[in-house]
Structures are given as structure tokens and as C-alpha cells.
């Protein structure tokens, strides 16, 4: 795992050469083991910078930037190519090439492009990656991310330069970078608590899209303007975008296999096992995150099956027992025989992380599970350099409650007039004590009562007021804030592929299938994988997700939905595999997620910080409605309404805004 950064400018352009060293240094956390730089002229000036975290071939022979054996290509690369040894064998058998200087997957990649066109080469690669490849012969530069979007890659355009890198923080080190806020992106952030690709918080700066590649022909490209819209970039004759893998192809009904459940389960187990085995390749110590849930327990079980030694597993727990699941992880670890490390954290241990979040994420990001993810990453780094995770299991195999609750909710909602739903929702929102009584009774009668039941009921009540379709229900369920016009002092509609009529008008897909697919291409890369990448790389730890291996992803879409969701319970097929390795009674419990008592912290130890963040002085940028946010915080403190997620988004934005010198 590494960090990359670079620039393209005209010969008398933005003087990026004087800034690139600062940009490279800003990524030291992503690659503490080595750094490299290469600057050269074609008809433009090009700079490539790299920070290296040595995982495969830890010798200097794996350092970057790296050039191909003929010198035609130069590459900077972040990620891991799990089938790179197979690719080497392919090059040997097909092209009689076997002249290697290292055992690194970077060298495999850069020489692969010598023999195969860029798009076709990407189709051969199985792994997680961000690639920048310069073709000196044709004067082309290529940018690409992996199929799911595990690894980040940003591109920024202005009148004098193109900047690119693994994190926004590195781009801001260039004097030519423009820090103007994108109002569409800010609106999207407050809607979803993250910024959906290809948007970023900055105008004319974009995330490369997963499964695609961008090619810039420097013989034709003209530095003439910034871009408000991602698609406008490709009106420039020198820029093109193309697919090398399309997630939409996974939705082909004809691909669904008709095998019985047991045969399908055995086949899936084999595919996941191979993915785990592929991801165990490393020249550095490797371990696993273990929460004791279905996904991480299955990955750990398959790792232990493949390993002759005890797998190192890591979990964190909290002194607040309502949010502590470390005992579940310990029981699973004991059963599997792993070498387990747990760390129980106090409230202060967790809260002390908060001031660093805006630096680590470098744009507004408001998934509060980022905090425990950071802490478990720090713990794992104390013993290993690589950690496998269970990320992706929920999206691919129906793990989120909304996948089986939303169809039920919609079947009920559509039976009642909108006016009645709105009236009922208002009653729920104005009766927190009544809802608390319901929660207490439910816990007494039903041990599987979800945590934060009151907050969930209030959240759902606020959402049903504007729902007229399945699409409205889904957008509402994934939204942080319902009516942005109340919150924001500007009008700009949020953007996300989750709104896509291409998906919602597809009558061959069930409501569940639509939700799962949209989560895979939006929430998974832009929230979950962003959270994990920044958290792990903050401590120079490489994370790998076997569920997101190409073979597992493609296999998951061939599995009938009823094998994933059964009797309003998700991940049925994963549980069937897991229970071969771990007893059912160690796993079966209410789904909690990687949570913290944020609602109580806002009322307690973070109270003053939250009020300070929305002071008149700190809201002087006039982007947010002061009276609205102050009322939200007052109501939350007084227990009238749980606004924890919305307040966390506001606090996250305010912290980011004042951490950076922003042009509002």
C-alpha cells in the first residue's frame, strides 16, 4: 500500500515542481518506508511522486516511480495485485518475457503494459489499485481505480495544471490548487454524510470512478478552464473515459445460477476461500480485524484454515458495555484458535481521536464508525502490516436491515394516504418519552431489540413524511438530512447514482436487489472503503477485503436473492458457510454495527465543542442556517429529538472548514 501524487503542466505553467516535495511528504503516513520522484518534459511538464509502504519485495528494487524494461512507461501505483504471479507466468508463456529485477507487483504491472493495451491489461488484473501510467512514446497518461473502488485516486483541473493523488491533502500542497467549495458536493455531503463519487468537496476536483480509466492525450489537451461538472471534462478533445469493467453487467438475469442452495453454498465457500488465500500473499506480518460478527468471523476462519500458524486477530472494546462486543470476538477467536489481541478503551480514549479526524479524512466525512475503525487499525499496526477485513459482506449478501425491512415498510406505507402518514410521523417525533417506554417494554419482552430503537423510530418517522415510491424510501433510509432547504443557506441539489432512473426503472429487479446494487456502487466505495482506507493508512497499515475480490463479487450476483435473505434475515448463505467453522450460538445476536454512544457524548463531554462549532463566529461563512442548527443541538441536549447523525455531519464539516483555508 502506498501514496501517489503528481502533476501535469505546460512548460511555462504553474511551477508545480517547487511544490511536489511538500505533496509527497504529506503522504508519508501512507508510505513510511521509501519515497521517490520523477520529473520530465514531453510537450508538457510531468511530475510523478510516491511514498512506499513495503509489503511485497521490501527491497529497494520495488521503489517507485518505476519504469518498464524498455523505458516506454513510467508508473506510480497504490494497492496490491493478487494475481501478479499468474500474470508473470502469462507473460512468460505468451510473450517469452521473464526478465524481472524484483518480485514486486509494481514491476509486473508496468511491464504488462508493454505487451497489452491498457484496457485489456486492466481486465487481467485482480486486486485493489490506483494506477497512474505515463506512456512516453505516445505522450498519453492513464488513470484508473480498481473495480469496486477500494483504493482512492483524485484528479484536479485548473487553467494551468492537472493535479492527481491518493488524498486531497496532497493536492492542496500545490500552489495552483484551488480551494473553492463545490456546493453540489456540500449538499450531497449533508444528504448522505459522505460525498458520492465523482464529486469531491472542491470544485473541479473529482474522484476517479471505479471500474473505469481516464486517458489524457497531452498532444491535444488544452489547459483552458476549471470544470464544475465531471462530465464536462470529456468535452476537452484531449481527455476520454472508458469502462474496463461494468457493474451493470452483473445485473443480467441470465447470469443467475439455478443450483440448489447447498451446491451454491459449497461453490461460494470455495471462491471466498481462494480469495482469502490470494490475499495472504505478503512479505510482512499479516492479521485480521475480528469483531465477532458474521463477516469478519468467516474471513478469520478461512484464514486460519489456510495458515499453519495462529492468525493474529484484533478487536477493540469499550468500557460502556452497551457498545462493547469484544467478548463475542474473544469467544470466536478462542474457538478458532487465533492469537487474539483486544484493547478495552475508555470514553476519553475514544473522544481524544475526534480532533484529528478532519486531518485524516481531508474532506468532510461523517460516518462516526470512523473512530473505532481508526482505533482498531492503530492496535493492529502494533503487530502486523496487513489486516484482512470482512468489508463488503453486507452489500453483496444482504446484511443491512433495510434490505428486508424496507419492502415490508413500503408494503404498509402504500396502503395509507400521505396525510395520515404525515400525521402519524409527527406524533412519533413529538413523543420521545412514549418511544422510550416502547423501547423498555420491547427489551423486557424481546431480547433481540435493536440498539438505539428510539433513534431508529424517530429517524424512520421523519423519513416517511415524503415517501411516494420505493426510490423515495431508499433515498430516505440512506439520508442523513431530509429537507436540506431548512439547513443550508444555498440551493444546490445533492448528486448520487442512488437516484439513477436506470436502476429504479428496471422492472426485472426486486426492491431488495436495487438497494443492494446501489449500495455496492455508492455507499460501499464512497463511505465504507473511504473510511477503512483513511483509517488504516493513517497508521501505515494495509487493509484487504476478500469479499471484494473480483471473483467473489461476480459470484455473489449469480446467487438468487432468496439464498441471501431468508425469513427477513440477511446473509443466510454466509451463515451457512460460517457455521461449519463457528458454532451458531457464538454468532446469533442483534446486529449492532461498529458504534459509539455519540448521542450521549454530544450531551456530555462533547457538548461544549459542539456549541462552539456552531457559534456565530464559526458560522460566519453563511453556508448553514444558524437558527436551525442551534435548535437541533438544543433539542438534542434536551432529549426532544435524537439528532446525533445530523449534528455529527455539521460538526465534521465545521471542523474540516476551519482546518483548511477554504474559499467559501
**474 pLDDT tier (thresholds 50, 70, 90):** very high
115: burial class by Cβ within 10 Å (0-12, 13-18, 19+)? middle
What SS3 state is found at 381?
Answer: helix
- Choice between 456 and 64, residue whose per-residue pLDDT is larger: 64
Which position has the grid cell 471473483?
551
CA distances from 233 to 46, 499, 522, 535 (A): 19, 22, 21, 31
pLDDT, averaged across the chain: 91
- Topology of domain 2-179+212-245, per CATH? 3.60.20
How far is the C-alpha of 386 from the C-alpha of 381, rounded, in Å?
Answer: 8
pLDDT above 80 for 299: yes
What residue has cell string 488544452? Answer: 222
Report CA dihedral (581, 583, 586, 591) to the nearest 10 degrees. Answer: 70
CATH architecture of 250-346+365-398+531-586: 3-Layer(aba) Sandwich (3.40)
Could you tell me the pTM of the whole model? 0.92
Instruction: Give the CB-side neighbour count of residue 482, counting CA atoms within 13 A.
Output: 15
- DSSP-assigned letter for residue 208: P
2-179+212-245 and 250-346+365-398+531-586, same CATH topology: no
Q: What is the mean pLDDT of residues 370-394?
A: 96
Domain locations in the chain as residue ranges: 2-179+212-245, 250-346+365-398+531-586
106-158 pLDDT, tens digit each = 999 999 999 999 999 999 999 999 999 999 999 999 999 999 999 999 999 99
Task: Write down the pLDDT at residue 662.
Answer: 77
Query: Which pLDDT does position 59 carry in this prediction?
Result: 87
pLDDT tens sequence across 333-366: 999 999 999 999 988 998 999 999 999 999 999 9
Instruction: State the maximum Cα–Cα separation within the chain, in Å, rounded to a whole number.
Output: 75
Whole-number pLDDT of residue 584: 93
Q: State the cell numbers at 387.
A: 489486516
Q: Please report which helix (H) or strand (E) contains residue 646, including its range.
A: helix 644-659
Backbone angles phi, psi at 438, to 5 degrees: -60, -45
Q: Which residues are within 8 A (CB) of 431 and not within 5 positions of it... i.e. 6 or more apart?
A: none
| C-beta separation of 195 from 181 below 8 A | no
Cα distances (Å, whole numbers) of residue 562 to 119, 200, 398, 400, 511: 35, 37, 10, 15, 13
Helix (H, G, I), strand (E, B) or coil at 95: helix
Please state, in angstroms and as integers, the Cα–Cα distance from residue 144 to each residue in 64, 152, 174, 209, following that order: 17, 10, 22, 8
Q: Residue 620 class from Cβ within 10 Å (0-12 exposed, 13-18 middle, 19+ buried)?
A: exposed
Amino acid at each position: 500500500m502506498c501514496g501517489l501524487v503528481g502533476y501535469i503542466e505546460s512548460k511555462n505553467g504553474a511551477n508545480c515542481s517547487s511544490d511536489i516535495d511538500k505533496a509527497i511528504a504529506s503522504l508519508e503516513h501512507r508510505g513510511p518506508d521509501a519515497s521517490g520522484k520523477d520529473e520530465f518534459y514531453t510537450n508538457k511538464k510531468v511530475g510523478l511522486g510516491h511514498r512506499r509502504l513495503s509489503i511485497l519485495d521490501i527491497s529497494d528494487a520495488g521503489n517507485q516511480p518505476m519504469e518498464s524494461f524498455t523505458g516506454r512507461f513510467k508508473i506510480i501505483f497504490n494497492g496490491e495485485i493478487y494475481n501478479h504471479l499468474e500474470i508473470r507466468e502469462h507473460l512468460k508463456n505468451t510473450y517469452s518475457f521473464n526478465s524481472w529485477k524484483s518480485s514486486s507487483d509494481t514491476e509486473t504491472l508496468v511491464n504488462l503494459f508493454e505487451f497489452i493495451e491498457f484496457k485489456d491489461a486492466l481486465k487481467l488484473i485482480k486486486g485493489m489499485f490506483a494506477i497512474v501510467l505515463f506512456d512516453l512514446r505516445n505522450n498519453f497518461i492513464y488513470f484508473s481505480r480498481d473495480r469496486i473502488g477500494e483504493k482512492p485516486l483524485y484528479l484536479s483541473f485548473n487553467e494551468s495544471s492537472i493535479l492527481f493523488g491518493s488524498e486531497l491533502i496532497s493536492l492542496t500542497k500545490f500552489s495552483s490548487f484551488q480551494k473553492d467549495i463545490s456546493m453540489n458536493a456540500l449538499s450531497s455531503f449533508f444528504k448522505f454524510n459522505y460525498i458520492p463519487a465523482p464529486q469531491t468537496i472542491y470544485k473541479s476536483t473529482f474522484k476517479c470512478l471505479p471500474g473505469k480509466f481516464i486517458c489524457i492525450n497531452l498532444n491535444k489537451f488544452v489547459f483552458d478552464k476549471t470544470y464544475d461538472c465531471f462530465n464536462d471534462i470529456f468535452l476537452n478533445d484531449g481527455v476520454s473515459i472508458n469502462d474496463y469493467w461494468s457493474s451493470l453487467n452483473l445485473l443480467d438475469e441470465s447470469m443467475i445460477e439455478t443450483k440448489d442452495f447447498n451446491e451454491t453454498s459449497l461453490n461460494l465457500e470455495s471462491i471466498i476461500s481462494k480469495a482469502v488465500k490470494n490475499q495472504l500473499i505478503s512479505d510482512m506480518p499479516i492479521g485480521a480485524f475480528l469483531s465477532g460478527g458474521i463477516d469478519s468471523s468467516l474471513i478469520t476462519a478461512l484464514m486460519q484454515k489456510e495458515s499453519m500458524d495462529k492468525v493474529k486477530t484484533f478487536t477493540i472494546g469499550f468500557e460502556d458495555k452497551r457498545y462493547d462486543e469484544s467478548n463475542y470476538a474473544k469467544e470466536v477467536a478462542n474457538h478458532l484458535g487465533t492469537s487474539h489481541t483486544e484493547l478495552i478503551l475508555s470514553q476519553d480514549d475514544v473522544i481524544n481521536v475526534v480532533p484529528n479526524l478532519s486531518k485524516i479524512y481531508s474532506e468532510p466525512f461523517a460516518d462516526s464508525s470512523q473512530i473505532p475503525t481508526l482505533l482498531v487499525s492503530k492496535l493492529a499496526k502494533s503487530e502486523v502490516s496487513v489486516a484482512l477485513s470482512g468489508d463488503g459482506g453486507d452489500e453483496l449478501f444482504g446484511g443491512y436491515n433495510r434490505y428486508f425491512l424496507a419492502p415490508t415498510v413500503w408494503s404498509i406505507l402504500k396502503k395509507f394516504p400521505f396525510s395520515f402518514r404525515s400525521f402519524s410521523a409527527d406524533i412519533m417525533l413529538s413523543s420521545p418519552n412514549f418511544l422510550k417506554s416502547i423501547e423498555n417494554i420491547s427489551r423486557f419482552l424481546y431480547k433481540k431489540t435493536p440498539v438505539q430503537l428510539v433513534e431508529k423510530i424517530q429517524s424512520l418517522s421523519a423519513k416517511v413524511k415524503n415517501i411516494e415510491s420505493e426510490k423515495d424510501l431508499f433515498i430516505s433510509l440512506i439520508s442523513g438530512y431530509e429537507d436540506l432547504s431548512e439547513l443550508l443557506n444555498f440551493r444546490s441539489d445533492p448528486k448520487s447514482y442512488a437516484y439513477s432512473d436506470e436502476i429504479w426503472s428496471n422492472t426485472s429487479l426486486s426492491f431488495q436487489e436495487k438497494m443492494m446494487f446501489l449500495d455496492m456502487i455508492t455507499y460501499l466505495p464512497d463511505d465504507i472503503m473511504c473510511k477503512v482506507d483513511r483509517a488504516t493508512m493513517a497508521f501505515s497499515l494495509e487493509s484487504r477485503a476478500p469479499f471484494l475480490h473480483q471473483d467473489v463479487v461476480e459470484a455473489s450476483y449469480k446467487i438468487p436473492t432468496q439464498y441471501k435473505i431468508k425469513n427477513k434475515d440477511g446473509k443466510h448463505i454466509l451463515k451457512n458457510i460460517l457455521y461449519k467453522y463457528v458454532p451458531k450460538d457464538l454468532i446469533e445476536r442483534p446486529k449492532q454495527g461498529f458504534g459509539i454512544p455519540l448521542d450521549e457524548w454530544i450531551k456530555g463531554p462533547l457538548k461544549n465543542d459542539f456549541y462552539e462549532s456552531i457559534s456565530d463566529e464559526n458560522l460566519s461563512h453563511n453556508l448553514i442556517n444558524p437558527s436551525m442548527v442551534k435548535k437541533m443541538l438544543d433539542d438534542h441536549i434536551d432529549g426532544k429529538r435524537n439528532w446525533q447523525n445530523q449534528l455529527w455531519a455539521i460538526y465534521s464539516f465545521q471542523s474540516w472548514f476551519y482546518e483548511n483555508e477554504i474559499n467559501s
